[in-house]
Chain A
């Protein structure tokens, strides 16, 4: 099976299989056409395949008459900032983000620096499917240029969003796992400006991953082990393109990536009360934080494009997902790992408390996550089955099926990246979580005809 997925604001595939340079050229031509041949910022992560896909993207954009502003190796939030700062018509980030090394993807940003929302993505896909590309004649071709000072301006922007004095005063010692990713250029100066002493891990921007790049508790074991041997205030793991982060306490205890958003909310809502947007699969910890500040949490379909788009529409002050991606609105238009770390450092500085103690303020729910590999038709049949099964309950069908009870919720949905059915359950008590989760998995297995497994 050729692995290619097109979703809102991105196209993703396995390199050497469905994700070919020709495909990327086509999408770049479509993006250049969508941008009406205006300037487009291109950044890439550190994967080996990103060099190839970047060249393909540059070629396609130039052929459509775009001026290409080459940001080089750049995390997604930096590209987003550059699009806005330079008044570009759009952006392309070549990054497999949290996916493993076999995969890569293009993320498409609009002129506002945000990922294309559902409507704009559809416009882009229509151009792609019709192969109706703008083709510039030789005299309308623009050159590939750079934006050498955009990193400095981006860092200035981040610092302006934070209480720099308070953070500097604490003189944090931080262990940072860069995942050999694209944040190397921005994270060093950022922590330096905040007066932090940094112990770096996987700092070589080689794109060779020491562990899978999603900042989950499992993938932060290397960082956690390091922290047991060095004296730091906390540890932070960045993903390859710098939009998601996970935290490790000073004792070397990895917090789940679900903790990132509620911790950021603790920091953000104190200084700037407002609505928080998250997705249907994210822990209710953030609801507890919002409640404490008298604020509401709104839920959108899973995916940064949906969550940030809803956040912008609702004038929210924070939008994020249980994956560790958080955007501080309206300062950033995409999830921004560094700003997320900044918010948490600000919180630690203000409260004068260690990270573990702040995390302990969050409710201790039990979350269970499972997935079942099965063909797309089985996935959708199972989802339809759940909808019938839970017909009497409060069901949200905007992305798969989500059922909410007083003490628990369950979300079943098709994966955006693989032929998988994902099931997530969260409950106040472990037994209740186990009961709901086991029941849902049993049902899914039965739908799959006894094949597949977790």
Chain B
């Protein structure tokens, strides 16, 4: 078994395992490289609540100071709040310290440009190049700036999102909402946000100083406590966020998780209801999106997986809304990034407008079965593995936007390398669960014959 490295430098930033690959040396140099790219000005530094955030944050601050930037410590907060705050304050950029949905031993630094958007792939390449060259324009002691603090990002983000939806209708319903913040970056922000929308909030895991109570990816298997809390508290619905609060999962009033693809589908449905226009999602997002777009005659564009790819296409074609099947919703007019607060607002708005329960709202959209698997795969085996899938389905139409997507009239199979981990993701969607399972099984057998 080849050893897989726990470090990944990619368009999502620098991600690694604390105590193994994500060292303060690496982070300091990367921050110096990013600071060089930003220029000598204010650069926001925000983080989620992982125990390693302090170590990483100080390394980032030291690196930024060394090249003349002014680090602005915005504390523990949701990533979408950080991204919006870059534009609000006119900062030269931001460093986001969060491994998002990755387990707690991971951490990462992601770089955000002056437009509040994750660095475009070409800019990210420039930063990586600066890092590899290792020669930074260090300032002398006299030119070293200071560290500033700013704790207004969460409040300003909250106000901006609430102003963009029909808040009065939501308040009129007086929802009871259970939330699981996974003790992450949104632990303080989310309860305050929901209360501002007139909701009664049942809080789960809202202590940012405590460790993650479960794997922070908001998958059905990780949010059992939330489902129970919804049932026991008689809540109208439940929301689960990942550690950096860009992704959202929904639980209906019966305590059943809807699956992350429903988040983007329901949000798109609500947004298109208000204003129709093109929709952008990635290649692994559910066909449900095509169905809700078809209701109002909107077109659906599909991109490579990775938030920045969706955002770029959204901005390029002036689309209304987009997102990813993993629960990331993007409304460029509000915030040009995955924003679980925007997602919560849109879902609550739809519920308020259409009346009825969460499960009734869900029932207005067709149901498919999606199966998502993963298999370890070191970088050097990726191309070979993908060719196996190409050959296996040589007679079917294939989409090579990202990995290999094999298309049938009523189902699809996707095998693609992860942007963040040395694994291949194997995903299929079909009318019935066993049909999707069969597609995934077939692909896995082709990839790993011994399995």
Contact = CB atoms under 8 A, between A and B. Distances in A.
Interface stretch (A55-63, A165-173, A186-194, A261-269): A55-63
B25 interface: yes
Contacts of B450: none
A21 B65 contact: yes
Nearest to B104: A138
A59 B28 contact: yes
A442 B24 CA distance: 50
A101 B17 CA distance: 38
Contacts of A60: 24-25
Nearest to B29: A22
Contacts of A63: 18-19, 23-24, 55
Contacts of A135: 19-20, 23
Contacts of B143: 16
B130 interface: no
Interface in A8-28: 14-17, 20-22, 24-26, 28
B146 A51 contact: yes
Interface string B49-67: 0111011111101110110
B317 interface: no
Contact of A62 (B25, B58, B139): B58
A364 interface: no
Contacts of A259: none
Given A21-B66, A29-B24, A138 B59 contact: no
B427 to A, nearest CB: 29
Interface string A30-43: 00000000000000
A24 B62 contact: yes
Contacts of B65: 21, 51-52, 55
Contacts of A153: none
A178 B28 CA distance: 33
B152 interface: no
B105 interface: yes
A143 interface: yes
A22 B50 CA distance: 23
A397 interface: no
B43 to A, nearest CB: 14
Contacts of A431: none
Contacts of B56: 59
Contact of A16 (B62, B107, B138): B138
Contacts of B59: 21, 25, 55-56, 59
Which among B25, B62, B104 has the highest number of chain A CB atoms within 10 Å? B62
Contacts of A138: 18-19, 50-52, 104-105, 107
Nearest to B145: A48
Given A15-B144, A22-B29, A49-B144, A62 B138 contact: no
B140 interface: yes
B138 to A, nearest CB: 4
Interface residues of A, number: 38
A140 to B, nearest CB: 7
Interface in A362-390: none
Given A21-B32, A55-B61, A136-B19, A141 B55 contact: yes
Contacts of B140: 14-17, 102
A53 interface: yes
A62 B54 contact: yes
B122 interface: no
Please report whether the interface of chain A is mostly helix, strand, loop or mixed according to DSSP.
Answer: helix
Contacts of B55: 58-59, 62-63, 141
Nearest to B134: A22
B391 interface: no
Given A15-B144, A51-B144, A141 B138 contact: no
Nearest to B136: A20
A60 B143 CA distance: 24
Contact of A25 (B28, B105, B144, B145): B28
Contacts of B24: 25, 28-29, 56, 59-60, 62-63
B380 interface: no
B147 interface: yes
Given A63-B55, A102-B141, A21 B28 contact: yes
Contacts of B57: 59
B3 interface: no
Given A25-B25, A25-B28, A59 B58 contact: yes
A436 B105 CA distance: 66
B62 A143 contact: no
A28 B32 CA distance: 18
A139 interface: yes
A16 B59 CA distance: 16
A140 B19 CA distance: 9
Most B CB atoms within 10 A — which of A102, A135, A140, A144?
A135
B142 interface: yes
A267 B143 CA distance: 44
B62 A59 contact: yes
B27 interface: yes
A9 B20 CA distance: 28
A137 interface: yes
B32 to A, nearest CB: 7
A310 interface: no
Contacts of A144: 54
B51 A141 contact: yes
Interface in B105-137: 105, 107, 136
B58 A51 contact: no
B19 A48 contact: no
Interface in A102-118: 102-104
Contacts of A137: 17-20, 105
B58 A143 contact: no
A51 B147 contact: yes
B7 to A, nearest CB: 13
Given A25-B25, A138-B52, A56 B58 contact: yes
B215 to A, nearest CB: 14
A299 interface: no
B56 to A, nearest CB: 7
A200 to B, nearest CB: 23
Nearest to B143: A16
Interface string B20-40: 100111011100100000000
Please indicate which of the listed interface residues A20, A52, A101, A139 has the most CB atoms of chain B within 10 Å of its own CB.
Answer: A52
A47 interface: yes
Given A52-B61, A143-B54, A22 B144 contact: no
A55 B105 CA distance: 22
In order of increasing CB-CB distance, the 3 nearest A-B pairs are A21-B62, A56-B62, A137-B19
Given A15-B141, A63-B23, A141-B55, 13 more contacts: A15-B140, A16-B141, A17-B140, A20-B66, A20-B136, A22-B25, A22-B29, A29-B25, A55-B58, A59-B62, A62-B58, A63-B24, A138-B105
Interface of B: 17-20, 23-25, 27-29, 32, 50-52, 54-59, 61-63, 65-66, 104-105, 107, 136, 138-147
21 contacts: A14-B140, A15-B138, A16-B138, A16-B139, A20-B66, A22-B32, A55-B62, A56-B28, A58-B58, A59-B27, A59-B58, A62-B58, A63-B18, A104-B141, A135-B23, A137-B17, A138-B50, A140-B19, A141-B18, A141-B19, A141-B55
Interface of A: 14-17, 20-22, 24-26, 28-29, 47-49, 51-53, 55-56, 58-60, 62-63, 101-104, 135-141, 143-144
